[in-house]
Amino acid sequence: AQSVTQLDSHVSVSEGTPVLLRCNYSSSYSPSLFWYVQHPNKGLQLLLKYTSAATLVKGINGFEAEFKKSETSFHLTKPSAHMSDAAEYFCVVSPSSNTGKLIFGQGTTLQVKP
């Protein structure tokens, strides 16, 4: 069975410092992995996706994630946090390549302090 575990429920950083949101996945085969962001009272927006191409994936707003099969990890990073990055972030795995069905992690709340 496929699953994702987000290792931190809450991360707090200062504006201008690096962001690291951790995610580990479990999958019986090469998965498709995603990061989605949800701003308060908004829908979910796709940040980036990994689909077995390059292991370092670049997304929107300066975010990127690296797929590490040996560590079963897909951590999200950003070199310098902005106040507008404050939101809920979800690591997501797709258990099937032909349905678009997603399994969500529990989410990590990112707080950015001035």
Q: Which residues bind another protein (CB under 8 A)?
A: 32, 34, 36, 42-46, 49, 90, 94, 96-107
State which residue, 19 or 33, has the beta carbon closest to another protein.
33
Nearer to another protein, 28 or 98 (CB): 98
Minimum CB separation of residue 18 from another protein in Å reads 26
Of 52 and 97, which has the nearer Cβ to another protein? 97
Q: Please list the residues that pair with 10 across neighbouring strands.
A: 109
Partners of 26 in beta bridges? 3
CB of 99 to another protein, least distance (A): 6
DSSP for 76-93?
A: EEESS--GGG-EEEEEEE
CB of 15 to another protein, least distance (A): 27
CB crowding 56-90: b at 16 or more within 10 Å, else e: ebebeeebbbebeeeeebbbbebeebeeebbbbbb
CA distance 26 to 2: 5
Q: Which is nearer to another protein, 60 or 71 (by Cβ)?
A: 60
Rounded to a whole number of angstroms, the minimum distance from the CB of residue 68 to another protein is: 21
